[in-house]
């Protein structure tokens, strides 16, 4: 097995990116398409599993794990929910 892509994540913001290595870029279009199709299938399974896990979380746990800037979007005082009287 050869590393051709690297997945990087900002664990504070939840943003991610994929870096392709020069060896991947040199592959034939057919090989890239075949590999990307395999990876997409695996990523879709992982995504569906994570989504299912999230959707089955108790609301209290979901809110507890939610980042602060997202947690307050439903607050009746949004966008001033940092101020006194926030509904959260």
One digit per residue, the tens of pLDDT, for the chain of length 88 reads 899 999 999 988 889 999 999 999 999 999 999 999 999 999 999 999 998 988 888 877 776 776 666 656 666 666 666 655 555 5
Report the C-alpha gap between 35 and 49 in whole angstroms: 21
Phi and psi, residue 43, nearest 5°? -65, -40
What pLDDT is stored for residue 60 in this prediction?
74
Residues sharing a CB contact under 8 Å with residue 60, sequence separation 6 or more, in sequence order: none
The alpha-carbon radius of gyration of the chain (Å, integer) is: 19
What pLDDT is stored for residue 42 in this prediction?
97
Question: What secondary structure does DSSP assign to 6-49, as a single string?
Answer: EEEEETTTTEEEEEE-HHHHTS-HHHHHHHHHHHHHHHHHHHHH
Model confidence pTM above 0.85: no
């Amino acid at each position: 097995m050869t590393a051709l892509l690297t997945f990087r994540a900002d664990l504070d913001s939840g943003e991610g990116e994929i870096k392709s290595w020069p060896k991947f870029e040199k592959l034939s279009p057919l090989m890239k398409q075949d590999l990307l199709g395999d990876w997409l299938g695996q990523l879709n399974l992982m995504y569906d599993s994570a989504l299912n896990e999230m959707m089955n979380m108790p609301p209290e746990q979901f809110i507890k794990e939610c980042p602060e800037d997202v947690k307050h979007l439903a607050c009746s005082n949004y966008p001033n929910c940092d101020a006194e009287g926030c509904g959260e």
